[in-house]
A = this chain, B = another copy of it.
């Protein structure tokens, strides 16, 4: 990896952290430069604009999310086990991770702000939703779920469970959030069985 590529990585790593707690929109070149021990202009040179930086931050976080959530699920046995693994990994990164936090907050920051950032965000959500639906579909084919179950609805419902878990955990500091999420999840599974 070339020198430039490495510093770019370091910057993006720091940027994900900052954006996860302060929001993607409130990323500033200055604070990011200070955090990484670079000059503003030196850092800026790696990204031609702030918008490009934001998009690359999203991309970077997306890779981490896929690595931490989608991959473990895909390497689990098909069917219910795969879905459960997905849920557990998702829960884990939602509890401790930074990337997931970024997606959720960015989703609402940009739901009314047209532009490349929003477009990327939408595509990521759609892609992930499709992945979940596909995992569920495989589960149907293997006989784990009801034949007339709706994969898109399942992906939708599961996402809702994760969103409210996230809010209860991060905003309200609800100690029982995880328990509630598991409860909701198992009921969702049961009703699709």
Q: Is the interface of A mostly helix, strand, loop or mixed?
A: helix
Q: Interface residue count for A (Cβ, 8 Å)? A: 41
Measured CA separation A74–B189 after assembly (Å): 33
Query: Cβ of B107 and Cβ of A171 under 8 Å apart?
Result: yes
Residues of B within 8 A of A183 (CB): 153
A184 to B188, CA, bound (A): 10
Q: Does A111 sit at the interface, judged by CB under 8 A?
A: yes
Contact (Cβ within 8 A) B105 A108: yes
**Smallest beta-carbon distance A157→chain B, Å:** 5
Residues of chain A touching chain B, judged by Cβ–Cβ distance below 8 Å, are 20-23, 25-26, 101, 104-105, 107-113, 118, 121-122, 125-126, 152-153, 156-157, 159-161, 163-165, 167-168, 170-172, 180, 183-184, 187, 191
